[in-house]
Amino acid sequence: MPPDPDDGLTPIERCVARDEIRQLAYRYALAIDSRDIDGLVKLFVPDVRVGRDTRGRDALRESWLASLGEIGVSILFVGNHLIDFEDADHAMGSVYCRGQIQDGERWVEQAIHYRDTYERRDGVWLFVRRIHKLWYGVETAERPLAQEPANWPEHHVGRGTLPEEWETWGAFWKSVKG
C-alpha cells in the first residue's frame, strides 16, 4: 500500500517518525536478544493487550518471562521495514526479520514477518500490537554455540562472549530460575 499523503504529516515529520518507529523495531530485537525485559515492555503502550483478556505491561512482562525462558540464545536481525501512517499519531508496519534461536540442543533459523500497529503517545512512538508470523523455521546442522572460544580478535572462528556479556542476560536467567 503506498503512503497516504493525507496523513497530516509534513515530509520532514514523516521522515522523523519513520526513523523513530524503525528504532522501536531495532530496540525490540536488542531487548529480546539481551533479555532486557524492562526495556522490552517499555516499547509497548501501557495498556497493551496480552492474550484475549489481559492488558498492561505487567502482564506483558510475565508473558515474556515465560516465553523467553523456554529458549536459549536468540539473534534477531531486522530487515525490510515498511511504515504507513493513518494520521500523525497512528501507523501500521510490516517488518521482516531473520531469527537464529537456540532451542535446547537444537539451533533453529527462522524467517519472520511482524505485522505492527504503532501509536505515538506523549510524543513517543510505541507498539500497540505486534503480530509474529512465521514463513518457516528450520533446524540447522551447525551448532554455533558448541564451539571452542574464539578469543576474538585472535581467532575469527569460535564461540564469542555474547550474550553472557550483557548484564540484563544474567539478571533475566537469575529471575527465571530463581
Say whether pLDDT at 178 is over 80: no
What are the structural domains of the chain?
A: 11-177 (3.10.450.50)
Tell me the pLDDT tens digit for each residue of 61-93: 999 999 999 999 999 999 999 999 999 999 999
Average pLDDT, the chain: 94
Helix (H) or strand (E) segment spanning residue 29: helix 11-34
Put simply, whether the predicted model's pTM sits higher than 0.85 gets the answer yes
Tell me the pLDDT tens digit for each residue of 82-122: 999 999 999 999 999 999 999 999 999 999 999 999 999 99
Residue 11: count of CB within 10 angstroms of its CB: 8
The helix/strand/coil state of 68 is helix
Question: In percent, how much of the chain has pLDDT > 70?
Answer: 97
Picking from 88, 106, 125, 96, the residue whose alpha carbon sits closest to that of residue 6 is 88
